[in-house]
Amino acid sequence: MPAKICVVGSSNMDLISRVPRLPKMGETLTGHSFHLGYGGKGANQAVMAAKLGARVTMVTKLGRDVFGEGTLKNYRDQNIDTTFVLFDESTASGVAPIFVDDQAQNFIVIIPGANNRLSPLDAQSAAPAIRAADVVVCQLEVPPETTLEVFRVARTANVRTILNPAPAAALPDELLRLTDICVPNETEIELLTGESAQTLSHAEIAAKKLLARGVSVVIVTLGERGVLVVEQNAAEHLAPVKVNAVDPTGAGDCFIGSLAVFIGEGLTLREAVRRANAIAAMSVTKIGTQVSFPNRATADEFLRTR
Amino acid at 9: G
Pair 131, 158: CB distance under 8 Å:
no
Report the chain's terminal Cα–Cα distance, integer Å: 25
Spot the catalytic one: 65, 247, 253, 300.
Answer: 253
Amino acid at 153: V
Is the Cα dihedral 177, 183, 186, 191 positive or negative? Answer: negative
C-alpha separations of 68 from 38, 63, 114, 172, 298 in Å: 10, 5, 9, 31, 29
At residue 75, what are phi and psi to the nearest 5 degrees? -60, -45
3 state SS of 4: strand
Known catalytic membership, residue 253: yes
Running DSSP on this structure, what letter comes out for residue 233?
T
Query: 51, 39, 36, 18: which is closest to 250 by C-alpha?
Result: 39
HSE-up of residue 19 (Cα within 13 Å, Cβ side) = 18
Helix H or strand E encompassing 96:
strand 94-100
Q: Which are the catalytic amino acids?
A: 253
